[in-house]
Amino acid sequence: MPVQSTNASATDTDRAGTLLPAALPAFCTARVILITLALGVILSLLLSLVPGVGTERWSRFGTTLWLVTWIALVTVALLCASRRWLQRLPLAALLATVVVLLLAVTAASSAVAFSALLSVGWEPGETAGRFVLHNLAIALVVGLLGIWVFSLHLANARQINAAAEAELSALHARIRPHFLFNSLNTVAELIHERPEAAEQAVLDLSRVFRAALAADERVTLAEEIELARRYLDLEQWRLGNRLRVDWQLPEPLPEIRLPVLTLQPLVENAVRHSVERQQAAGPIRIECQPGRRSVGLVIENDLVPGEDRHGNGMALANIADRLALVFGEAASLRAGPVDGRFRVKLVIPQPGGAA
């Protein structure tokens, strides 16, 4: 099967009005710094082109560019350092804090710049107080303009997130009945093949149903693995010693959350397309590979020659779509034959690992 990757974005505010981490940009990035420098050049150029500057236009451009760049970079550095604190503030308080921070940096930088320029022979046309107030007025206009642009961005992000959540719910609704019907079929087959085990299998099935139906749309990795274990216990009644599972799990498990019914459909595919169709299939390998920024989840099973994996592909597409809606480009799903076995690898970002 060809490689499948996931891409999407998720940004929003919660119901209490607190900005979620994804909505606040990561200020300590080359992209943000380059944009800041570019906007600083544009602002400096506009200020140097105002009427009345005369022959000192380019000299004023250089001085203004130096001051604007300094103010912008110091402000971005402070925002970067305080991002964790800022993203816990209500939206109105956050925006007000950013504007106050910009004005404070502008006032301090303007006062220092005025003294520095005087020391090199600059002849000001205004007092230090008026110079600082003039720059504060410009900074206030720029700050309010930035708030307006950010508000437009946030409104658009809310619309995108609402659509993504609706699509995610639809994908969950599509995979849950598939899971439940397949589990019922497993018990139905067991009643005919091993009636003495059917009662215990029904009890196992009820536990699986309870976990699948009661779960939120996003669960911890431990909860998802427990659901997969319960499903395998159910299949063990039917397949007996033919079903072998090689669990490779670290202790403790990584503290990540992922869409419910992410692992179980992959484990079910391994059972249906490998163990069920061979008398001596190799073990299903389920491995967790924790990393600093992400967690890898690997499911492997023997390949059956000439096997039609159309149903497998439908489950993979559903999981890939849900990962894309939740994690965007930070998550991925890759599937295909590797050394005579079918291998699926999920990559889930660690909390904060994609920032």
C-alpha atoms less than 13 angstroms from C-alpha of 121 in its C-beta half-sphere: 0
Please name the residues in contact with 24: beta carbons below 8 A apart, sequence gap of 6 or more: 83, 86, 87, 94
The three-class DSSP label of residue 348 is strand
Supply the pLDDT for residue 327.
87
* Range with lowest mean pLDDT among 52-56, 81-85, 99-103: 52-56
Model confidence at 166: pLDDT above 70: no
- Read off the pLDDT of residues 206-251 as tens digits, 9 standing for 90 and up: 777 776 665 557 889 999 999 899 888 888 877 888 899 999 999 9
* Beta strands 284-290; 257-259: pairing state: unpaired
- Read off the pLDDT of residues 69-87 as tens digits, 9 standing for 90 and up: 888 888 888 888 888 888 7
Q: How many CB atoms lie within 10 A of CB 48?
A: 18
Tell me the CATH class for 175-349.
alpha beta
Q: Whole-angstrom Cα distance, residue 259 to residue 216?
A: 8
Q: Whole-angstrom Cα distance, residue 209 to residue 215?
A: 10
Model confidence at 299: pLDDT above 90: yes
Supply the pLDDT for residue 73.
87
Give the residue with greater pLDDT, 21 vs 259.
259
What's the mean pLDDT when you consider all of the chain?
A: 78
Helices and strands (H and E) in the chain: how many: 9, 8
* Range with lowest mean pLDDT among 25-29, 105-109, 290-294, 327-331: 25-29
- Read off the pLDDT of residues 20-29 as tens digits, 9 standing for 90 and up: 444 566 677 7
Q: What is the DSSP letter of 44?
A: H
pTM score over 0.85: no
Model confidence at 30: pLDDT above 70: yes
- Listed in order, the ranges of the chain carrying CATH 3.30.565.10 are 175-349
The three-class DSSP label of residue 36 is helix
Question: What's the mean pLDDT in 152-157?
Answer: 75
